[in-house]
Structure formats: C-alpha cells, structure tokens
Amino acid sequence: MNILEIKNLNLSFLSNGMSYQALYNVNLALKKGEMLAIVGESGCGKTITAMSVLRLLPSNAEIMSGSVIYNNQNLLQLKNEEMRKIRGKEIALIPQDPMTSLNPLFTIGSQLLEVIEIHQRKKGSEAEKIAVEVLEQVKIPNAKERLKAYPHEFSGGMRQRVIIAMALACKSKIIIADEPTTALDVTVQAQIMKLIKEIQREFLTSFIFISHDFSLVYETAERTAVMYAGHIVENSPSDELFKNPKHPYTQALLKTLPDFKTIKLESIEGQPPSIKDTFTGCPFAPRCKYCMDICSKKMPECLSVNNSCVSCLLYK
C-alpha cells in the first residue's frame, strides 16, 4: 500500500524572465514502512523533488503540473495553513547539515519542547517527559540533563540525532532524509544510518533517503530511484538495481565505484546538461555509449522490465 505518490511532477525555475524546467514527469511511490532512495549526480533534481513534497520551494520555483498524493489529498492544492499542519507532524525533514539546522541561541530542550507543543499540543512536565523519551530513543545519554545544553555543546552526530528526535516527537509517518550523513565522519555515518533503520523497523516509518553514496543506499534502501537531469531514468528494488542495472546511466554510475579487484576507476565522459540546455530526446544520449540516432530525437517512456521501471529506448 502506497502512503505517498508523486505523479507526473513537472517543475521549472524562473530567472530573468525566462523559465527553465528542472523536473520532467517525475513519478515515485512510497510504501508504508519502506525506505526509498533517490540517487544521482549533484543538480539532478533529488532535493527539489523532495522539497516539492513538503512545498518548501524557492520563491522562483513553479510547479507546472502534477500531484503529490498523501492521505487521499493532493498536497500541492492545499492552502498554506493546511500544509503547515502536515509539514513537520505528518511529513518531517532531516536536512543535510546538522551544524546549521538548530538555533544556536536556544537550548536543545527549548527547541524540542516547541516542536512537541505545536504538533502534539502537550505542555509542561508532560511535554518534557516526551522530550526525554525521544532523546533516549535516539541514544543520547543523560537525556534529561542534555535538554539544558546548547547546540554548540553537541557534536555533529549528536545534533543530527536531535533532528531525528524532533521527527520522532511529532510521530511523523514519513521522514525525508536529505543526505543526512554528509557532514559526518564515516563512523558517525554508520551510527546515524543504523539509528534510521531501527526507527524504520520499530515505528514502520516511511523514509525518502536522498544520497549520492551508493554503499549507504545498498545497505539501507528497499527501493532505489536513479535521477538524471530532472528525469527518473530507473526505479528498481535495490537488490535488482545493484546486481542487474538496466539503464546505461545506472550502469555507468556503478562502474565509477571503487572495486578492490581492480585498481583503475572508470568515469563517465562528458558533463550532465545544464538546466538552461534544451533537448528533445534522452538527456543522457550525449554521454551514452549505446546511443542510437533515435535517442536524440525521442524522449524514452518508462518501461516495465523485470520489476523495474527503465526510461531507455534500448528496451523498446
């Protein structure tokens, strides 16, 4: 059963009187209790897709068409007041940088209690009890005492745990984790991802996990969507995608990963297109070693291939 569906989402940015399309007919579905990973090069549209769900878009962003269905309602059509009730409580965000996500002027406790008061309508000792409980759930020792601490007294990993605790305090059904381990060292990365998996299993929380780290995706996500230039080019169960990648871009990406059997690393020739570039065919065609004449003329549709969805004319 799908808890969230993104259907035919098209988004553009306005700049100097011009409109530049950034997302092209993005279709994604998230099941209850599932972790869906979105991967791809920087600038491919991963974060802007997730921010469209929360409607936390830049002022010059314009959703041209499409829908985001949650609880049988299109989030893109809700009034701002209605969306504020969902944002944070129903659908929460773990942002990229834990160093700047918390207000340095207020204690951890005051920021956590504010979230609980707004979304759970609890105050006083009752709210403090919940705050201590969620800090303990994210493995922060001496939780009651740490409520009095300020963000600068916490390490990066501990701050990220506090952000996750805020999502738990809201009892969010969906958590969007936007590269949640980017600013952390390898050991802390593993701890944070282990914590996220524990939360997923214990509370049946659904996650959208945005990352460029394929090793983390392989270990944690049940399904993986690969983005390129604003398009979903492949959407597969993670095991299938890593064992049998189908889209040429996915194949090329996986070949760039370190392999201890070989010393030489492969690279993908060329550069991804700029948002200002226009194309009529497949956006990956200029970099694809399997490119055919038709690839530069016709945009491929998403085809079902062995439980995967692949946008490539090789499978037509």
Residue 49 has which token pair?
Answer: 């897709």
143 lies in a domain?
A: no
3-class DSSP state for residue 92? strand
3-class DSSP state for residue 19? strand
Residue 195, domain extent:
2-90+172-271+279-315
CA–CA gap between residue 114 and residue 120 (Å, rounded): 10
3-class DSSP state for residue 39? strand
Per-residue pLDDT at 42: 87
100 lies in a domain?
A: no
Give the residue among 297, 190, 314, 207 at the shortest CA–CA distance from 251.
314
List, in sequence order, every residue forming a beta bridge with 35; answer none if it has no partner.
207
Q: How many CB atoms lie within 10 A of CB 54?
A: 18
Q: Where are the beta strands (DSSP E) in the chain?
A: 2-15, 18-31, 35-39, 61-70, 73-74, 91-94, 174-178, 206-210, 223-228, 231-237, 302-305, 308-311
202 lies in a domain?
A: yes
Q: Is there a contact between 313 and 242 (Cβ–Cβ < 8 Å)?
A: no
125 lies in a domain?
A: no
123 lies in a domain?
A: no
Please write the tens of the pLDDT for every residue from 16-74: 889 999 999 999 999 999 999 999 988 899 999 999 999 999 999 999 999 999 999 99
For the chain, the straight-line distance linking the first and the last C-alpha, in angstroms and rounded, comes to 29
CA–CA gap between residue 132 and residue 214 (Å, rounded): 34
Q: How many CB atoms lie within 10 A of CB 161?
A: 23
122 lies in a domain?
A: no
Phi, psi of 145 (to 5 degrees): -70, -35
List Cα–Cα distances, 29 to 5, 23, 76, 145, in angstroms.
4, 16, 16, 41
Residue 151 has which token pair?
Answer: 């963000």
Give, for all 316 residues of the chain, the pLDDT tens digit: 899 999 999 999 999 889 999 999 999 999 999 999 999 988 899 999 999 999 999 999 999 999 999 999 999 999 999 998 898 889 999 887 767 778 889 999 999 999 888 887 888 888 899 899 889 888 888 889 999 999 999 988 888 889 888 888 888 899 999 988 877 778 888 888 888 898 899 889 999 999 988 888 988 999 999 999 999 999 999 999 999 999 999 999 988 877 656 667 778 888 888 888 888 899 999 999 999 999 999 889 889 888 899 999 998 7
Per-residue pLDDT at 311: 95
CA–CA gap between residue 58 and residue 303 (Å, rounded): 32
67 lies in a domain?
A: yes
189 lies in a domain?
A: yes
Per-residue pLDDT at 255: 86
| CATH number for the domain harbouring residue 215 | 3.40.50.300
Domains in the chain, number: 1
